[in-house]
Amino acid sequence: MNRQTLAAATPAAAPTCINYLSRLVGVLCAVAMGLSALGVLTALGLIAWSVVTRYVFGNPPAWADDVVAMLLVAVVMLAAGPALRRGEHIGVDVLTSQLGARGRCWSDAWAALAAAITGAILLVNGWDTAASSRMMGIVTDGEVEIPLFWLQLFLPLGGGMLILVACEALARLATGAPSLAVSHSAIEEASK
Amino acid sequence: MNIAFLLLALVLLLFTGMPIFAGLTLFGSALLYLTSGSLGAISDVIYHDLNSYMLVAIPLFAFMAHVMIRGRIVDDLYNAAYTLTRHLPGGLAIATVAACTVFAAISGSSVATALTIGAVAIPQMIRFGYSPRVAYGVVAAGGTLGILIPPSGPMVLYGVITDTSIGGLFMAGIVPGLMMAVIFAAWAMLSTLFGKGRIEREPRATWREALRALRKSAWALSLPVFVLGGMYAGVFTATEAAAAGSVLALVVACLIYRNVGLRGIWESALDASRTSTMLFMILAGASVFGHVLTKLRIPQEIVEIVVGAHIGVTGFLIAMMALIFILGMFLESIAIILITTPVILPVMLHLGINPIWYGVLLVINLELAQITPPVGMNLFTIKAVTRAPMGQIIVGSLPYVLLLILGMAIVMLWPQIALWLPGLAMHLR
């Protein structure tokens, strides 16, 4: 089982329009990934602070747990696209890894298409859900009462990022441009 | 609708090579659309499954592990283990298992454990005359302890899905984890004693040497004690323990070992975010799949089938473990938990199976999945570390596959091995 790669069968120089698209997607992914990592550090800080205030001041902030849970949705949806771009989502490649270059190209295109359709589902369904939450004026449960649709909007955002990255991958495959997706295995990740 | 057909169709779809999260979401969405004519609010289902305070423990444990890996504490840990065991037959192999056991209690990940310990242990073992096959097998198997000995990412996920105490699951993993470590170490010792080749043994370490080695590794050893001790003493919840462990890891790596700076912290946060996103996107897909299964009343159908078959608890468990073993050859552990658990949870409850016991059996089976071909993450890890032929790694790991099956059978026959500690400490029976 390897992470998804979208390597082209016959790498060639990328056309200019693909380079522009790649640059745009690259910047968006870098920003999204940075915000996601910031979310992890914020969650860590909030929980640590909550523990300290509970034992030192005897008065933990009741809202911290709710905010941390909300942050998780943002962390995941922001990083979903960048992770796809780096070929980090796990797939079963027992069969596809046996294919030749042309077969791999088709299987990569199939994987990118699947990610794009999933992104489209998240985008359309997530947008509709957020819109209906907004219309009904639903707020979050618990100590922090904020309009739910603000948080639900992270799903269409994540879906949109998946579509962008998948489109870039498909465009690269279609034009024979070299893939930007790096085959980062869990092993390489852990060894950093 | 035929559950076997559905599961087979899903597995076949995943075999086309698409990302697992996409396969689960598309399959679930298609089923939902075909049966009810619309997707409903599936993004609301995903949102509510991800919006969980308990799940935050996973990125935080991942962050802790990444900080400790960057802190390079493993050298001291391995030296301490070797100093204590070097006089025994197979001392270096035993030290490797011991280091894996302690590192498992820090990292919560099998791949991270096999990789980190493997990079240090495999060259050493080969240098001291161990057959490469033995070295690969010990590290691949020792690495699997990463998900059984707490903290464990798969246990957190399983706990959230089944609404089982994560602290209880963590505690239930300790004795079986240590038991597996002892079984692995015993096998390593026996295979060295009766195996081919001559392996040099060093003299027993003096008390002074042993104390010096232990003192150097004290910080590494303190982390699991702090995290698990804090949880079981009731000081922290699982999520808080992950945060507290992360803070301690930062103190150790930044201030004591001085191997991690601001850049290292940021990179660890990026890695933690990526690792957990990969996992949570599968959770998102599985929540769509689980939602549609519930709507189609598939779990109830399975309950009826199992009850009608009169196979009893043991028969059901053996059948499930066999199925998961087969799935484990091809699928990733997290996907197995997320696909199978919602389907069989009602059966477990109906048959009165303790979810903590089942959780431990499941995780031992997932350990097997790490070292069974063709898809075994630890096998790939060893391959990446050593560039050795895959056949040699698989042959080296085979005895440990049998030992893990033995361990699973022991826990199945004597549930108290898993349930005694949580029962004692947390009154969870």
pLDDT digits (tens, 9 = 90+) for A94-127: 788 888 888 888 989 999 999 999 999 999 999 9
Q: What is the pLDDT of residues B43-102, one digit of tens each?
A: 999 999 899 898 999 999 989 988 988 888 878 888 899 999 989 988 999 999 999 998
Task: Tell me the pTM.
Answer: 0.85
**With an 8 Å Cβ cutoff, are A117 and B22 in contact?**
yes
Give the list of residues 6+ apart from residue A22 with CB closer than 8 angstroms, or none.
A14, A168, A172, A180
**With an 8 Å Cβ cutoff, are B42 and A121 in contact?**
yes
Mutate to test the interface with B, among A47, A78, A157 (most CBs of B within 10 A): A47
For B72: left if phi > 0, alpha if psi spans -120 to 50, otherwise beta; the answer is: left
Among residues A73, A67, A1, A71, the alpha carbon closest in space to that of A40 is found at A71
Among residues A111, A108, A84, A71, the alpha carbon closest in space to that of A25 is found at A84
Of A110, A128, A190, which has the smallest distance from its Cβ to B18's Cβ? A110
Of the listed ranges B18-22, B256-260, B383-387, the least confidently predicted one is: B383-387
Task: Tell me the mean pLDDT per 10 residues along chain A, length 192.
Answer: 45 72 94 97 96 87 90 96 90 82 89 96 96 93 89 96 95 79 42 42
Mutate to test the interface with B, among A31, A63, A85, A92 (most CBs of B within 10 A): A92
The size of chain A, in residues, is 192
**With an 8 Å Cβ cutoff, are B277 and A115 in contact?**
no
Tell me what the mean pLDDT of segment B217-234 comes to.
86
Q: What is the pLDDT of residue B390?
A: 84
Q: What is the pLDDT of residues B243-281, one digit of tens each?
A: 999 999 999 999 999 989 999 999 999 999 998 898 899
Alpha carbons within 13 A on the beta-carbon side of B173:
34
Residues B230, B84 contacting (CB under 8 angstroms): no
Amino acid at B331: L
Residue A1 to residue B254: CA distance in whole angstroms: 35
Of A3, A65, A125, which has the smallest distance from its Cβ to B42's Cβ? A125
Tell me what the mean pLDDT of segment B18-29 comes to.
93
DSSP string, B328-344: HHHS-HHHHHHHHHHHH
Residues B285, B28 contacting (CB under 8 angstroms): yes
Of A118, A156, A192, which has the smallest distance from its Cβ to B271's Cβ? A192
DSSP string, A134-180: HHHT-B-SSS---BHHHHHTHHHHHHHHHHHHHHHHHHHHHHTPPP-
Amino acid at A76: V
B374 touches chain A (CB under 8 A): yes
Residues B345, B293 contacting (CB under 8 angstroms): no
Preceding peptide of B151 cis, ω within 30°: yes
Residues in chain A closer than 8 A to B116 (CB atoms): 190
DSSP string, B10-58: HHHHHTTT-BHHHHHHHHHHHHHHHHHSS--SHHHHHHHHH--TGGGHH
Residue B398 to residue B200: CA distance in whole angstroms: 25
Q: What is the pLDDT of residue A180?
A: 57
**With an 8 Å Cβ cutoff, are A44 and B60 in contact?**
yes
Among residues B149, B142, B112, the alpha carbon closest in space to that of B125 is found at B142
Closest residue in chain A to residue B372, using alpha carbons only: A1
Q: What is the pLDDT of residue B305?
A: 84
Among residues B280, B185, B174, B154, the alpha carbon closest in space to that of B227 is found at B174
Q: What is the pLDDT of residues B104-142, one digit of tens each?
A: 888 778 888 888 888 888 988 888 888 899 999 999 999
Closest residue in chain A to residue B277, using alpha carbons only: A76
Q: What is the mean pLDDT of chain B?
A: 89
Alpha carbons within 13 A on the beta-carbon side of B192:
27
**With an 8 Å Cβ cutoff, are A65 and B53 in contact?**
yes
Give the list of residues 6+ apart from residue B348 with CB closer than 8 angstroms, or none.
B162, B355, B358
Which is more confidently placed, A84 or B427? Answer: A84
pLDDT of B223 > 90? The answer is no
Which is more confidently placed, A12 or B39? Answer: B39
Determine how many CB atoms are found less than 10 A away from the CB of residue A139: 13
Give the list of residues 6+ apart from residue B118 with CB closer than 8 angstroms, or none.
B139, B143, B381, B382, B385, B386
Of A40, A68, A82, which has the smallest distance from its Cβ to B53's Cβ? A68
> In angstroms, what separates the C-alpha of A120 from chain B's closest C-alpha?
11
Residue B253 to residue B27: CA distance in whole angstroms: 44
Amino acid at B155: M
Of B39, B52, B111, which has the smallest distance from its Cβ to A72's Cβ? B52
B326 touches chain A (CB under 8 A): no
B59 touches chain A (CB under 8 A): yes
- Report CA-CA distances (Å) from B73 to A22, B119, B261: 39, 13, 15
Residues in chain A closer than 8 A to B330 (CB atoms): 1, 92, 94
Q: How confident is the model at residue B426 (pLDDT cuts 50, 70, 90)?
A: low
Give the list of residues 6+ apart from residue A131 with CB closer than 8 angstroms, or none.
A149
Main-chain phi, psi angles of A3, to 5 degrees: -75, 160
- Report CA-CA distances (Å) from B403 to A20, A169, B138, B155, B408: 54, 44, 12, 21, 9
- Give the dihedral of Cα atoms B74, B77, B81, B82; nearest 10 deg: 60
Residues A158, B21 contacting (CB under 8 angstroms): no
**With an 8 Å Cβ cutoff, are B51 and A92 in contact?**
no
Q: Number of A:B CB contacts under 8 A?
A: 227
Range with top average pLDDT, A138-142, B310-314, B352-356: B352-356
Q: What is the pLDDT of residue B197?
A: 65
Q: What is the pLDDT of residue B2?
A: 66
Tell me what the mean pLDDT of segment B152-156 comes to.
91
The size of chain B, in residues, is 429
**With an 8 Å Cβ cutoff, are A125 and B39 in contact?**
yes
Q: What is the pLDDT of residues B286-295, one digit of tens each?
A: 889 888 888 8
Of A40, A92, A192, which has the smallest distance from its Cβ to B330's Cβ? A92
Collapsing DSSP to helix, strand or coil, B199 comes out as: coil
> In angstroms, what separates the C-alpha of A157 from chain B's closest C-alpha?
12
- Report CA-CA distances (Å) from B315 to B308, B402, B404: 13, 20, 19
Location of structure tokens 């060894």: A191
**With an 8 Å Cβ cutoff, are A43 and B22 in contact?**
no
